[in-house]
Structure 1
Amino acid sequence: MRSLFIWGKRSTCLLALLMLAPPARPIVSNPAKPQFLEEKIGSASIGSPEQRILAAIDHIRNGRLADARATVNALLLEQPNYRLAHLLSGDLYAMRTMPLNNIGAGSGKLATDQLNDLRKEALARITNRKTKEPQALLPAHLLVFAPSQQYAILVDAAASRIYVFKNVDGVPSYVTDHYATIGKLGADKFKEGDQRTPLGVYFVTSHLTRSYLDKTRGAQADLYGVGAWPISFPNEIDKSEGRTGSGIWLHGVPANTYARAPWASNGCVAMTNEEMLDIAQYIQIGQTPVVIVPKAEWVSKVEWQSRHDAALSLIDGWREEWESLKTQPYLNRYAKQFKSDDGQDLATWSHQKTLVSAGKRWSKVHLDELSIFTSGGPNPRLTTSFKQDYRSNNLDNQMKKRQYWQQEDGAWKIIFEGAAT
């Protein structure tokens, strides 16, 4: 009975450590006389590496330390470079003879920054397990899919999580999600080298295979693991705001690690190699949006439908006013801070459009392959992309266009418009 009592207290302590609570008190009554307890053989949990690391935490919570040990051991046989599993393994061994005051206290000489990174990873995974919204609700950021867009990727920077949603008759349907790494200094990239991940709506532009990276990057290719999928940063609005940088990719991790810390990249979004390959199967080059938000917003189907309808109505109102030569209502759709892709401000743009409209007797505007995504955050923006077919008595023009909208005086206004790049 005394042995069971001591193990129960130690399991409670380690649970507090895993939840990153304040330091707990020593868990043996006389630390000067530690007791070495013989541990029985446990039963290993099955599932993905993340499911098993969380199962080990559950076993500790329930006082099943032998099962925690068996689960961690089995996980390390499969993923020998899983550093968080090694950390937990060290703690489980250390608990046999000593009290622990924090997760990783049994890790020996592990550097402080490495230990803190592993603690952050543990917290990110534990926190996500409590979050059920992706399966029960819809992402407010994926409002309108173009018919050709089969999937969309949503990156929640605050949660260090990447989600995949399928376009099911225009409605986002949850497919999968994985732990992900973002920039060392967080999100909202502004300039080259600031080690931040950009926020906004981007598109996957290409696939850089591992063999290609080996040829072009040499030894540095290992940083990207199984390969890389570049995204379109800086996009049109980034450039208009003076944001700089390049080489923002979705990619894997080096061979000597299973996963990186939540904030550890130079601005890219990194996943375990297995999970990057899982995400890759849903990527359409040139089509798949990657929506990176400071914090994901989840809404009911009714609320999502309302926002979806409002977004479509907004774009159709703009199209109808332009087509009907309602020049002033059309120009009222543009923000005071508006910029065109050729650098025109609102005054110059309005003057030009007024002159052009005066020479029209009729016009027809048709939009195809329309998509609408929102970046969220305290200052949300709508990103609209579409194929535009414009015809009038003196001009026929077809182009792929992109607009960025934001709130101004309580209404959505266009702050950038131009050819999609």
Structure 2
Amino acid sequence: MTRTINWSKLILSLLALLLLAPAAQPRMPIVAPYQLHPLQDLKGNATQGSPEQMIVAAIDAIRDNRMADARATVDALLAKEPNYHLAYLLSADLYAMQAGQLDTMGGAAPAGTADKLEDLRREALVRIRREASPPPVTLLPAQLVSFSDKQKYAILVDAAASRLFVFQNNNGIPKYVTDHYVTVGKLGTEKVREGDQRTPLGVYFVDSHMSRPQLDKTFGAQADLYGVGAWPISYPNELDRREGKTGHGIWLHGSPAATYSRPPQASNGCVVLTNPELASVQDYLQIDVTPVVIVPKIDWLTTEQWQQRHTAALNLIDHWRQSWQALNLPNYLNYYSKGFSNSDGQNISSWTRQKTALAQARNDAQIQLSNISLFTGGKDGMLVATFDQDYRSKALDNRMRKRLYWRNEDGAWRIVWEGAAANG
């Protein structure tokens, strides 16, 4: 039987791909995720589910030479999300396959679109990997060490996998809730300076919310870049500023109206979700409370391994407290790095002199810690401890929210920064 190519639909799909595709970015070469075969003239069955489930199902159908099912699924997906770039790419390929075999995803696209196609192939691969290897929800993330009593949820971003995870505080134990595809910085992670187009690594906290009406009022026509809303996070944090890192405006935000989703690396440093998924995630966010932990890759632990890590970290904080309260100066100062500094600008030398004077004066105190949160993040797995500190002595009664940054130095955890915490 002779196949008739629907040239009008093919041209429409290709034009949509070109018009809606994001700007070209520098990328590494990508292996095509499937081998395309001529489309069969059969009525197919559309896979239903989330857009991500549908796009992966369509790719799987093409791989299995179930072209009619792929066609039906892509059509249903575009009816649901008419601005989904990757779905337009598959649609164009499927129409082109009526004329013969294609060797690679995007083989039907005109010359000169290589960078745009590479972005879409990267997105396809990221989504395929998520469906092929779902998160091990029976395991626990090593980076979420301990929730405070106020923290109902935590956000954990796996930059390498382009996934944002939501975990619930389940009686102190992180419980998987959901995960979503995200976009990170055009040039990856490890943000250092303003305008470097990288996403920071570390422990941050949601510090405000900007609704779409607020974005429109503030940014005018440019507000569409942020989609349905934005949740700024606390970059640069105290450690970032100590290390001279610059930049601002790192947000969790949505996508432009004409774009269902963006490539895995396409933002100026923000963490970007689709608009429907941001609307879902924002239900879990508490201003100045919810942690947003951004890591190169999540480390998954068994419950027993996680519990050992949790207990060891809490013991570390309590032994530090006990040494301070007992005025055991050698033990106490051994918890501090030689490169220590604090919020008042003191270094380890001035800090040692101050604490020595207090110990000699026998300024006995009772020190209690509560609402302790412990998270690890960043390139070197910095341990970030935040807690309410109640200090009572004859000379001083003080209650504050405090933060300590601990770095593992030659097998021992030592404090590199100490000061008041404005969030967390």
Q: What is the TM-score when the length of structure 2 is the normalising length?
A: 0.90
Match of 1:388 in 2: 389
Tell me how far 1:173 sits from its aligned partner.
0.3
Q: Which deviations, in whole Å up to 9, do the C-alpha atoms of 1:121-153 show, x marking residues without a partner?
A: 011111122223341211100010001100000
Rate the CA distance shift 1:25–1:237 in 2: closer, same or farther, 3 A. Answer: closer
1:234 aligns with 2:236: yes
Structure 1 gaps, min length 5: 4-18, 28-35
Answer yes or no: is the 8 Å Cα contact 2:254–2:274 preserved in 1: yes
Match of 1:51 in 2: 53
1:326 aligns with 2:336: no
95-104 vs 190-199, which moves further: 95-104
Which of 272, 284, 287 is 2:286 aligned to? 284
CA distance in 2: counterparts of 1:162 and 1:23, whole angstroms: 23
Which of 63, 70, 89 is 1:68 aligned to? 70
Match of 1:90 in 2: 92
Which of 267, 276, 279 is 1:274 aligned to? 276
Q: Which deviations, in whole Å up to 9, do the C-alpha atoms of 1:242-301 show, x marking residues without a partner?
A: 001110000000001000010000000000000001110000111000000011111111
Trace 1:246-265 onto structure 2 (pairs within 5 A). Answer: 246-265=248-267
Answer yes or no: is the 8 Å Cα contact 2:123–2:263 preserved in 1: yes
Aligned partner letter, 2:392: R
Q: Counterpart of 1:147 in 2: which secondary structure?
A: coil
Compute the RMSD of aligned alpha carbons.
Answer: 1.9
Rate the CA distance shift 1:141–1:26 in 2: closer, same or farther, 3 A. Answer: closer
Aligned partner letter, 2:389: Q
Q: Which deviations, in whole Å up to 9, do the C-alpha atoms of 1:47-70 show, x marking residues without a partner?
A: 000000011122223221101100
Answer yes or no: is the 8 Å Cα contact 1:133–1:298 preserved in 2: no
Tell me how far 1:22 sits from its aligned partner.
6.4
Match of 1:179 in 2: 181
Match of 1:32 in 2: none
CA distance in 2: counterparts of 1:37 and 1:338, whole angstroms: 65
Rate the CA distance shift 1:397–1:26 in 2: closer, same or farther, 3 A. Answer: closer
Aligned partner letter, 2:118: N
Answer yes or no: is the 8 Å Cα contact 1:20–1:103 preserved in 2: no
1:416 aligns with 2:421: no
CA distance in 2: counterparts of 1:150 and 1:376, whole angstroms: 22
Answer yes or no: is the 8 Å Cα contact 1:367–1:389 preserved in 2: yes
Tell me how far 1:101 sits from its aligned partner.
2.1
Answer yes or no: is the 8 Å Cα contact 2:343–2:418 preserved in 1: yes
CA distance in 1: counterparts of 2:156 and 2:236, whole angstroms: 18
Answer yes or no: is the 8 Å Cα contact 2:142–2:301 preserved in 1: yes
Q: Which of structure 1's runs of 4+ aligned residues deviate more than 6 A?
A: 22-27
Rate the CA distance shift 1:420–1:140 in 2: closer, same or farther, 3 A. Answer: same
Aligned partner letter, 1:398: R
Match of 1:154 in 2: 156
Q: Counterpart of 1:133 in 2: which secondary structure?
A: coil
* Sequence identity percentage: 56
Rate the CA distance shift 1:25–1:135 in 2: closer, same or farther, 3 A. Answer: closer
Rate the CA distance shift 1:65–1:23 in 2: closer, same or farther, 3 A. Answer: closer
CA distance in 1: counterparts of 2:152 and 2:200, whole angstroms: 23
Structure 2 gaps, min length 5: 4-28
Trace 1:356-395 onto structure 2 (pairs within 5 A). Answer: 356-375=358-377, 377=379, 379-395=380-396
CA distance in 2: counterparts of 1:225 and 1:314, whole angstroms: 43
Tell me how far 1:107 sits from its aligned partner.
2.1
Q: Which deviations, in whole Å up to 9, do the C-alpha atoms of 1:215-239 show, x marking residues without a partner?
A: 1100010000000000000000000
Tell me how far 1:356 sits from its aligned partner.
1.8
Match of 1:305 in 2: 307
Match of 1:9 in 2: none
CA distance in 2: counterparts of 1:26 and 1:44, whole angstroms: 18
Rate the CA distance shift 1:407–1:253 in 2: closer, same or farther, 3 A. Answer: same
1:21 aligns with 2:31: yes
